[in-house]
Amino acid sequence: MTADVLSLVVSPLVGEIKEGLKGFGCAMFAIIKTGGKQYRVAAGDQIVVERLVGNVGAEVSLDQVLAIGDGDSGAIGRPTLADASVRARIIQQPRGTKVIVFKKKRRKNYRRKHGHRQELTVLRIEEIRRGTMGRHEIDEGAAEPNPPVAPTDSEV
């Protein structure tokens, strides 16, 4: 992707983040990923996520931060932000409501009833650590000028 195309894609997203913050009193927020889902969190929020390892009262660091924003600026990771993390404390380790899975094939005397309760974790977000924010610029010097070439059969 060239820098022009990338800036056309990412710049409107940063603008949307800034617009979305105007009604929230300018509090810092982060978009994190855990358990295959994404959550928008701010300091003091309580969220329910899929079970995380740890005891009640333990502190957890969520390192997969996809975006961070506040009243003046925002940053979007590719796919995550380096050095950014969210510190949270485990409040509860409950189980969700029971979901009944019932299978039946008519006229075949086939009936199967199976239940499932998802294990959950309730987190209280304590702090959002920004780290070094790379304001979605492309570092041209980071790419290798000549990528390594795989050896051919005659060279091996």
Taking only the tens place, the pLDDT of each residue in 19-59 is 554 545 558 899 999 999 999 999 999 999 999 999 999 99
How many CB atoms neighbour CB 44 within 10 A?
10
For every residue of 30-69, DSSP letters joined together read EEEEETTEEEEEETT-EEEEE--SS-TT-EEEE--EEEEE
Q: What is the identity of the amino acid at 148?
A: P
- Kindly state whether residue 153 falls inside one of the protein's structural domains: no
Q: Minimal CA–CA distance to 30: which of 42, 38, 19, 48? A: 42
Give the number of domains in the chain: 1
- Kindly state whether residue 48 falls inside one of the protein's structural domains: yes
- Kindly state whether residue 152 falls inside one of the protein's structural domains: no
pTM value is 0.65
- Kindly state whether residue 142 falls inside one of the protein's structural domains: no
- Cis, peptide link before residue 79, omega less than 30° from 0: yes
pLDDT tops 70 at residue 149: no
Query: To the nearest whole percent, how much of the chain has pLDDT over 70?
Result: 68
d(CA 99, CA 151) in angstroms, rounded, equals: 54
d(CA 84, CA 133) in angstroms, rounded, equals: 8
Domain that residue 127 falls in: 3-137
Give Cβ neighbours of residue 45 (< 8 Å, ≥ 6 apart): 124, 125
- Kindly state whether residue 121 falls inside one of the protein's structural domains: yes
Over the chain, what is the mean pLDDT? Answer: 80
- Kindly state whether residue 59 falls inside one of the protein's structural domains: yes
- Kindly state whether residue 33 falls inside one of the protein's structural domains: yes
